[in-house]
Structure 1
Amino acid sequence: MKEMNAAMLAACLLLGAHVGANAGANAVAKAGAATKSLDDQFRAIYTQEWKWRQSQRLEDAEDDTSGIRATLPKIDAPTQLARQRYWEETLRRLDAIDEKRLSAPERINYAVYRAQIAALLDNQRFREYEKPLNADSAFWSNLTYEARKTFRTAAEYRAYVAQLNDVPRYFNDEMANMRAGLARGFTPPKVTLQGRDGSLVAVADAKPEDTAFFKPFKDMPATIPAAEQASLREAALAAIRTAVIPAHAALLKFMREQYVPGATDNLAAQRLPDGKAYYQSKIVEFTTTNLTADEIHNIGLAEMAKIRAEMAQVMKDVKFDGDLPAFLHFLRTDPRFYAKTPEELLMRAAWIAKKFDGKAEQYFGRLPRSRFAIIPVPPEQAPYYTSGRGGPGVYLVNTYNLPARALYSLPALTLHESAPGHAFQMPVALEQKGRPAFRNAYISAYGEGWALYSERLGTEMGIYETPYEVFGMLSYQAWRASRLVVDTGIHAKGWTREQAQRYLMENTALSRHEVETEVDRYISWPGQALSYYLGEMAIIDARRQAEAALGAKFDIRAFHDTVLELGSVPLPVLKARIERFIAEGGKGPY
């Protein structure tokens, strides 16, 4: 009987185990199905919204390989309100999803996408479209970027001619939005708009064939028959003559007679309509954090003190007999530190970029396929443009006012704007496969943080050959750390323009011209300047955490590849990814 009971007990245990296993398997299957269902629900939201965004001409369509549009975007007030309503509904649908139940890849996508939609919606709610310009750039100057694209077919040229004929409608809608902003005191500060109409004058007073808009037609592909080339050139000249130039002339008149005279005299974003909430929304957008203006201001002051100590060490290394203001004056005035010709500046930039190429494989496992050109900033933009700017395929170097373009700062600038900065990081992200298209949108805290980190990385890579170039890098670090102080000082603490300029002059080696243009940029573009240093701090902190945890296992190439593989993400997403990188033993993503 005991044997019978034992056998029965064994059978029952075996049956129970089988049932339990089935139940466990069923539970896992159900959980997996639920995750898949939720993933599908989330994908449906972003797929639908992205397709709609493309239809709004807010993003490049996936099937538009040329990127040449026959029309410019719709930007009138009813369209803007409709966009706000659409993103409100999108955000409502997103918040109904339990993100913790998404699969690991979709949790990253969710964090990126929700932050993106929230920023887009805030811009609509605060009617940012009623202020479509700042001291650095404007909607009309951005149009010239289209003319720099590569045109290959007659269809692309015809689409561009159609776009040129759409300029009057587009400008009229922009001016209507600007009038609405003017009426409620929502404009860039008047002082930052002085002289910014120069790029309008360059078109309004030009011959059609001398404008940037005609450039694609000067050297057309031989695959287009000569007769068709002549016809396209004639159509382009007519469009520039009858549409583009008159539109620029009308906008120039509006700027001089109405907009600039009526623009606000206030500098602070917090003095704009609903200003405190508006400035905080800019902080969230550009830093992807919930830090307050006071917290950021104090971070900036603390970081500036650290950088000043590093600067003092360089002064000792070069045996300079004097204080920091005297050293800064020496750097700003000694001819040895400045190029004599624009060509010299461009060639020095190219030489630095090639020095990076010689070191790249030691620090990166994956290099982008995309290359970049080094070209001067267009002359009509150069007087008020930043010292350089980079992105996929291009590194723009400002050759205007050479005594303001220090050669000792050029290595840091080149690393930031070309490689491994923007012209390197962006293509790496764009070349990733299997990611939703919205992941290619630029997040300033990540992108600018990486570019600033690239400047610091130059010390390890041996890019800086003299103590003066090291000081140039430190000056650029101080420039970005001081932005935390200056941006919040202007927009939240009542700083004057002169006070902000003085702070930069006393704490960086920037020329007075650069200081003046940069401060005007910060005044007219609230929050954007905060992204750089806070982003760099996040990357440096993540690296230190990884080095401490992994010890001898830490591989700098794997770390960099992991950071770059993410593409632009909010800083909390970067932090979480590096924590996983550590947990996985420091393995790279490839």
Structure 2
Amino acid sequence: MIGVRLPREPVCVNTRLSVALLLALSLPAAAYAAPPATPSAPASVATESPADAAFRAIYEKEWAWRQAGGGEASEDGDGPAQATRMPDVGAAAQQARLKVWDDVLAQLDKVDVKALSPTNQVNYAIYRDQVFNLAAEVRLRGYEMPFNSDSSFWSNLSFMARREMKSAKDYQNYIARLNDVPRYFGQQTDNMRAGLKRGFSVPRAVLDGREVAISMVADLKDPTESPLYAPFKKLPASIPAAEQAQLQAQARQAISSSVVPAFGKLRTFFLNEYVPQARTTLAAEALPDGKAYYQQQIHEYTTLDLTPQQIHEIGLKEVARIQAEMNTIIQQVGFKGSFAEFLTFLRTDPQFYAKTPNELLYRAAWISKRIDGQIGKYMTLPRARFTIVPVPPDIAPFWTAGRGGMGTYWLNTYNLPARPLYNLPALTLHESDPGHALQGALAAEQGEQPEFRRNAYISAYGEGWGLYSEKLGVEMGIYETPYEDFGRLTYEMWRAARLVIDTGVHHKGWTREQALAYLRDHTALSEHEVTTEVDRYISWPGQALSYKLGEIAIVRLRAQAEKDLGDRFDVKAFHDAVLKQGSVPLPVLEQQIQAFIAERRAP
């Protein structure tokens, strides 16, 4: 969906960033008939079957169309190097994209799947589900709700400044995108008005304070203080000084005359129209076509077709299991008191909290280096590395503790009393290596896979691997104290509780207070994190389900491999088999790992 959510790219940012970036590059349907030249075909094309050739022709044409972008950037300003516009997110463009994707689905349905090679049968399953989700998001008009309490199209702009620029032309294109922000914001506002008119909006209960990030830009007096100006503070020496000064002046003008007024207009709309008219219900199932919408969110984020009730029951069982493990640790440390009193102790004792942002960043870096000393024993490592940076201040108040993806681990240093150190090992394992940073880097190296696979992010797989990475930290010896191990269990409980809360709110009609109490009573998360997390689940249906369901699948497959292979089981080979898939739906992962087990069992 274009302009709706931020993923994991930063992966975990959302866990839909990669897809959002790809979507935002789409051309109107009229351009689909004449895409740029298709990428060079693999060497095996000469011997491929007619079915394989037909399938390849479909996905190469659609992917080239999606990549071309028509000179448009993505919703966070990324995209083709020549991009001079922000994306076209208007209703007409959205429906034009839907027409393309519906046509692609019709073509795919005519492919003889059984005649495809084994590799292309996997590619087909992944690609069809990818296009199905893109089409469903537009068909259900998800673009009319282009933000949630966690991420938004206006905050995403701050990532635009992080894109590498080398030439004067790159900076000129960036300035052109800044000048296009008013048009882009206007389309988003029109979409939100249409959503309000049919009762399709973010719930009113989670909107308080969400205008703060808008106001930080709307009230800006000095354009050089904007993060959007950061690329101009140190321009490449290859650009002559006079041209540098000209670019800097143009950037200041674009921010002052285009960006700041656009944010001011957005704030007026948000406070005067959106908040007063936002729906008073919470459940996704209370939206127009709500049951279909929530079921589609479940499918997209979990790649499974479980019912909300089935997911709710899985969550309750996991919560009970993890609670028993937590109780064991409380006994181990000799704490005298109830579970609730132990959580209060963890949330209030100064020993568990950093005193400065740098202390938190340094501790995360130390944990990462300790992981580096062990990780090679458990999986083949990618060539790419990652850095650790603080979350930008304009979005930090509403972000979770950290996000990670290929190249970057964002650590939230806002409100340090809400960032307990006992949770930091689990967070770091999840967001950096061996979690998102490593998985994303390895996926990018799978050169034999089609680009639609290497550039995709499937939440159930990626988040499932991230949560599994936290558990793997036990084997790697990363948790040094019982409190850090309790932090790991808190994070696992947090993800299990999501299964209960997400379905509780969106299917069973839970109130916000019920959801807050459930998360508060079962985890050692700070009150700030409890609030931001619950508001995230309320405003982003289904996304929170992907973590635990994905991890359950990986843990189950590993247990089967260990049992079936016995002495032949090699943990590094197992992890490599999981990671070489890139990002895949859970049913595809199941199929591939079953094949891995069968192959290694063969005499």
TM-score (norm 1): 0.91
Equivalent residue for 1:383? 397
Q: Does 1:90 align with 2:83?
A: no
Q: 1:455 aligns with which of 470, 474, 479?
A: 470
Please list every run of 5 or more consecutive structure 1 residues that lacks an aligned counterpart in the other structure.
1-31
Distance 1:284 1:395 in 2: 28
Deviation at 1:33, TM superposition (A): 9.8
1:543 to 1:170, Cα distance in 2 relative to 1, 3 A: same
Distance 1:494 1:470 in 2: 34
Distance 1:70 1:119 in 2: 28
Q: Is the 8 A contact 1:203 1:211 kept in 2?
A: yes
Q: Is the 8 A contact 1:53 1:59 kept in 2?
A: no
Equivalent residue for 1:508? 523
1:523-542 alignment runs, 5 A limit: 523-542=538-557
Deviation at 1:84, TM superposition (A): 1.1
Q: 2:57 aligns with which of 27, 44, 47?
A: 44
Q: Is the 8 A contact 1:164 1:244 kept in 2?
A: yes
Q: Is the 8 A contact 1:364 1:561 kept in 2?
A: yes
Q: Does 1:198 align with 2:209?
A: no
Could you give the per-residue CA deviations for residues 136-173 of structure 1, whole angstroms, max 9, x where no partner exists?
00011111111012221112111101111111110111
3-state SS in 1 of match to 2:377: helix
1:382 to 1:586, Cα distance in 2 relative to 1, 3 A: farther
Distance 1:358 1:156 in 2: 39
Q: Is the 8 A contact 2:73 2:84 kept in 1?
A: no
1:122-521 alignment runs, 5 A limit: 122-206=136-220, 207-365=222-380, 367-439=381-453, 440-521=455-536
Deviation at 1:69, TM superposition (A): 2.5
Residue type of the alignment partner of 2:216: A
TM-score (norm 2): 0.90
Could you give the per-residue CA deviations for residues 345-401 of structure 1, whole angstroms, max 9, x where no partner exists?
111111111111111111112x12221111111111111111100111111111111
Distance 1:248 1:560 in 2: 46
Distance 1:124 1:65 in 2: 21
Q: Is the 8 A contact 2:284 2:506 kept in 1?
A: yes
As a proportion of its length, which structure holds more helix? 1
Equivalent residue for 1:8? none
Distance 1:586 1:237 in 2: 65
Identity within the alignment, %: 57
Distance 2:538 2:292 in 1: 17
Q: Is the 8 A contact 1:35 1:101 kept in 2?
A: no
Distance 1:169 1:121 in 2: 24
Equivalent residue for 2:583? 568
Deviation at 1:586, TM superposition (A): 7.1
Distance 1:179 1:110 in 2: 37
3-state SS in 2 of match to 1:363: coil
Distance 1:330 1:445 in 2: 34
Q: Does 1:543 align with 2:573?
A: no
Deviation at 1:68, TM superposition (A): 6.5
Distance 2:154 2:120 in 1: 38
Distance 1:356 1:433 in 2: 27
1:543 to 1:68, Cα distance in 2 relative to 1, 3 A: farther
Distance 2:527 2:82 in 1: 39
Distance 2:125 2:47 in 1: 20
Q: 2:592 aligns with which of 552, 577, 585?
A: 577
Distance 1:250 1:59 in 2: 22
Distance 2:550 2:83 in 1: 34
Deviation at 1:100, TM superposition (A): 2.1
Distance 1:318 1:511 in 2: 21
Distance 1:69 1:33 in 2: 35
Deviation at 1:506, TM superposition (A): 0.8
Equivalent residue for 1:19? none
Distance 1:586 1:400 in 2: 51
Larger Rg: 1
Runs of 4+ in 1 over 3 A off after TM superposition: 32-35, 55-60, 64-68
Equivalent residue for 1:23? none
Q: 2:67 aligns with which of 17, 35, 54?
A: 54
Q: What is the number of residues matched between the two proteins?
A: 552
Equivalent residue for 1:16? none
Distance 1:339 1:277 in 2: 45
1:438 to 1:272, Cα distance in 2 relative to 1, 3 A: same
Q: 1:557 aligns with which of 551, 572, 579?
A: 572
3-state SS in 1 of match to 2:238: coil
Please list every run of 5 or more consecutive structure 2 residues that lacks an aligned counterpart in the other structure.
1-44
1:452 to 1:586, Cα distance in 2 relative to 1, 3 A: farther
Distance 1:380 1:180 in 2: 27
Q: Is the 8 A contact 1:35 1:102 kept in 2?
A: no
1:67 to 1:456, Cα distance in 2 relative to 1, 3 A: farther
Distance 1:460 1:83 in 2: 47
Deviation at 1:65, TM superposition (A): 9.1
Q: Is the 8 A contact 1:289 1:571 kept in 2?
A: yes
Q: Is the 8 A contact 2:73 2:83 kept in 1?
A: no
